[in-house]
Structure 1
Amino acid sequence: MTLDTLPPHQGGAEYLARLLAQALLAGRWQPGDRFPRELDISRHFAVSRNQVRNALASLTAAGLLERTAGRGTLVRQIDDWHLLDPLMSEWMTGLVNLDPQLVRAIYAFRFSAEPVVAGLAAQTAEADDIQRLEMAFEGMAQTAGSVESRAEHAEYDVAFHDATYRASHNLVWRQMGHLLRPSIMALIHRSQHRTNILDDSLARHRQVLEAIRHRDAAAAEIAAREVLRRTAIDLGIVS
């Protein structure tokens, strides 16, 4: 992978870090690959070596790169990436073409966590939480029938999941939902791109809403797991 496939640099070290991080998150360099040298990055983007060092320092702090004297800079294994780092969350914002390994890793976490969160939400949701879930679901329903409305539908879908995390009234889960928002958005965009019909997904989300509304924690967990099973099918993780 060369630097030539990346768009032009348009800002300082923060922009450069975002540009390089998004290329890594999209799988343009694979774990174990040697990353371009400081000098090559500096020359390619016509930026100072100091800007490059600052950008690479951000990527290293987020666990994306490993810089070792005598070996150069290597891409770290995905297991070492700090996916819940706020910077990583920022870099993921707007990114749809995530590396397939990363898609599977994020999906696996969500499959483990979100049924638990939905069950907790069924026990703790207040009137405002139910209203947020209903508004998000109504938006999903109104935009499900139009291909032109897919981006808007994805926003409502993310809002639904965010409302579920908020309804747990658990500080850690609420923060987790906030940090995961960009990755959830990326997975939703990716799954919608692979399917032309959203009726089944909509029906599964309705079951989550109804279970939380009726304070049925067991049903909420089952319904949330079924939503994610459909996501796995749409992502091509399972058939």
Structure 2
Amino acid sequence: MADYLAEAIFGGRYRPGDFVPKEVDLAEQFALNRSAVRSDLRQLVDVGIIERISGHGSKVREVEAWNILDPSVTDWMTRYAAPNPEIQREILSFRLDVEPYVAMTAARRATARDLVAIEEAFEGMESAMNAAEGDAKRLHSDHDIAFHVAIFKATRNIVWSQLSHILRPSIYLLIETSNESASDPEDSLERHRELMEAIRTRRPQDAFRAAQAVLAGTADALGIKPGDSVLGSDLELPPTG
């Protein structure tokens, strides 16, 4: 039942401010007793997605209140949020604010092993894109996420590295959806190549801009505007020294 409600909420059928069905109706629909229904609703309450209002029922909270880094929430997000442009926009805006800096730091700190990991992930993307249909698109997305995770790890910072694992499901959501709808896969691959080369050749500012370009392509493929972010701004980059 918790999965049913999560799918309905992340998919946008129940929006912030909406009340989900009452306990008695959920109990009847899923042939559960009231205590089991309360237990499932508690899962959504504990991660900030819904709130219980005495005498009224359970209401969906504003997205800002959701604990999107909780493993249960990131799992639901990956499985159910693809049709929801609001959630996609929030994730993309965060990535636009973070990943150019991550790429810039990787260009300064990446070890030889890091560069190999980035290159192997890129080569996997390239091979999958040129492969026959079937699992090719899934493999392309798998290598794409590995490419971005490798860049996080190349910062040589334990917090960024760990954050890449926490963010992995939400990043995968955008990557899988944008790869499905991309009209220019060759151009997208070239943008990833330019990012890889900027990191490999120790060009932090170019890596920053290349990461922006990769994410701009993601935004275009998704058909959404990312909102407030560094994309397209006149941001003054830090010096290369």
Deviations 1:175-208 (A, max 9, x none): 2211111111111121122224311110011111
AA matched with 1:165: F
The answer on 1:115 being equivalent to 2:88 is no
- Corresponding letter in the other structure for 1:214: T
Question: C-alpha separation between the residues in 1 aligned to 2:189 and 2:81?
Answer: 21
Q: Distance in 2 between matches of 1:23 and 1:133?
A: 37
Q: Give the aligned length.
A: 224
**Structure 2: how far apart are the matches of 1:60 and 1:175?**
26
Match of 1:193 in 2: 180
User: Which residue does the alignment assign to 1:183?
Assistant: 170
Residue 84 of structure 1 aligns with which residue?
Answer: 69
The residue aligned with 1:4 is none
Native 8 Å contact 2:114 2:150 kept in 1:
yes
Structure 1 segment 18-33 matched on structure 2, within 5 A: 18-33=3-18
Matched, 1:211 2:227: no
Alpha-carbon distance in structure 2 between the residues aligned to 1:33 and 1:96: 17
Equivalent residue, structure 2, for 1:159:
146
Matched, 1:225 2:212: yes
SS of 2:52's partner is strand
Give the letter aligned to residue 155 of structure 2.
S
C-alpha contact 1:27 1:99 (8 A) present in aligned 2: yes
The one-letter code sitting in structure 2 at the alignment partner of 1:48 is: N
8 Å contact from structure 1 (residues 125, 167) kept in 2: yes
1:202 alignment counterpart: 189
Give the Cα–Cα distance (whole angstroms) in 1 for the partners of residues 56 and 74 of structure 2: 29
| Residue 157 of structure 2 is aligned to residue 170 of structure 1 | yes
137-146 or 108-117, larger mean C-alpha shift: 137-146
2:81–2:87 contact (8 Å) kept in structure 1: no
Distance in 1 separating the partners of 2:162 and 2:37: 31
* Structure 1 length-normalised TM: 0.87
CA shift at 1:44, angstroms? 0.8
Question: 1:92: how far off?
Answer: 2.7
Q: Distance in 1 between matches of 2:101 and 2:219?
A: 18
The question of whether the paired residues in 1 share the 8 Å contact of 2:10 and 2:81 is answered with no
Q: Which residue of 2 aligns with 1:101?
A: 86
Cα distance change on mapping 1:197 and 1:122 into 2, 3 Å: same
Could you list the runs of 5+ residues in structure 1 that have no partner in the other structure? 1-15
RMSD of aligned Cα (Å): 1.8
The answer to whether the 8 Å contact 1:96/1:190 transfers is no
Residues 84 and 227 of structure 1: is their aligned pair in 2 closer, same or farther, counting only changes over 3 Å? same
Partner of 1:8: none
**How big is the shift at 1:97?**
2.2
Q: Which amino acid aligns with 1:51?
A: A
CA–CA separation in structure 2 for the residues paired with 1:152 and 1:196: 18
CA distance in 1, matches of 2:8, 2:148: 27
Deviation of residue 158 (structure 1)?
0.7
* Secondary structure of residue in 2 paired with 1:227: helix
1:46 to 31, 34, 44: 31
Could you tell me which residue of structure 2 aligns to residue 7 of structure 1?
A: none
Contact 1:137 1:160 survives alignment (8 Å): yes
Percent identity for Structure 1 against Structure 2: 42
* Residue 94 (structure 1) shift: 3.8
Where does the alignment leave 5 or more consecutive residues of structure 2 unmatched?
A: 226-241
Matched to 1:233, the amino acid is: D
